């Protein structure tokens, strides 16, 4: 008997599964998460979580398709409040096709601890080989930190400028908000999130042991 060919998972299925896994790990809670995938670049189309939906139960009904003006093309609900941040990342990272968000205690502590320096520096960890562009275990990854703001338009402009000034960065931390990572695929973005959250926890434990 010939087995039926399984259809590849759609972007919203992969994003939903990733969001639920982040919730399980304690990297998201309640409705505090926003995840997107780029469907097309010219003209820009992306799918992104609707605002306020419970991360633990996300499915394909919780995503909206938007254009590059954040106008809804398909779906029901209100786009995530952080939609403009996702758009800024896609505009200034031409290879990015997925943006993910995490909110963890170690990540927020790292942002507060390093805020005066404006950057979290991760150096010489073997895990950094998993970040796109790394070619050795001696990779130095610099994650810029920006101050949070309720003005999403202003914050998106700040992030755009930070990305222009940090061309090799694979993530950005928003102080007292969370971590944004991206990748050329959903799987790659998820791997970046896993690596950075692991190293945030490791460095936080190192701080606590001093």
Q: What is the pLDDT of residues 119-176, one digit of tens each?
A: 999 998 999 989 986 555 557 899 999 999 999 999 999 999 999 999 989 999 999 9
Integer angstrom CA distances of residue 82 from 15, 78, 106, 171, 198? 16, 11, 21, 15, 24
CATH topology of domain 11-208: L-fuculose-1-phosphate Aldolase (3.40.225)
pLDDT at residue 208 in the model: 74
Domain locations in the chain?
A: 11-208
Cut 0.85: pTM above it? yes
**From CA 152, how far away is CA 80, in angstroms rounded?**
11
Average pLDDT of the chain is 91
Per-residue pLDDT of 14-61, as tens digits, reads 999 999 999 999 999 887 789 999 999 999 999 999 988 888 888 888
Token digits for 73? 């093309």
Q: Give yes or no for a contact between 176 and 78, defined as CB atoms under 8 angstroms apart.
A: no
Helix axes 152-165, 83-92, angle to 10 degrees: 20
- pLDDT of the residue at 76: 87
Distances (CA, A) of 20 to 34, 57, 59, 82: 12, 7, 9, 19
């Amino acid at each position: 008997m010939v087995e039926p060919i399984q259809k590849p998972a759609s972007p919203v299925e992969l994003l939903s599964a990733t969001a639920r896994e982040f919730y399980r790990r304690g990297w998201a809670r309640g409705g505090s998460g926003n995840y997107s995938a780029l469907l097309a670049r010219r003209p820009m189309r992306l799918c992104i979580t609707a605002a306020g939906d419970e991360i633990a139960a996300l499915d394909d009904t919780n995503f909206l398709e938007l254009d590059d003006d954040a106008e809804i093309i398909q779906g029901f609900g209100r786009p995530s409040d952080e939609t403009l941040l996702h758009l800024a990342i896609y505009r200034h990272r031409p290879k990015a096709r997925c943006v993910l968000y995490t909110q963890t205690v170690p990540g927020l502590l790292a942002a507060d601890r390093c805020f005066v320096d404006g950057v979290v520096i991760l150096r010489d960890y073997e895990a950094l080989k998993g970040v796109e562009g790394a070619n050795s275990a001696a990779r130095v990854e610099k994650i810029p930190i920006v101050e949070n703001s309720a003005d999403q338009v202003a914050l998106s402009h700040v992030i755009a400028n930070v990305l222009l000034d940090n061309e090799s960065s694979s993530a950005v931390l928003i102080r007292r908000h969370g971590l944004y990572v991206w990748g050329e695929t959903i799987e790659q973005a998820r791997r970046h999130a896993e690596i950075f959250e692991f190293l945030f926890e490791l460095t936080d434990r190192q701080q606590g042991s001093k």
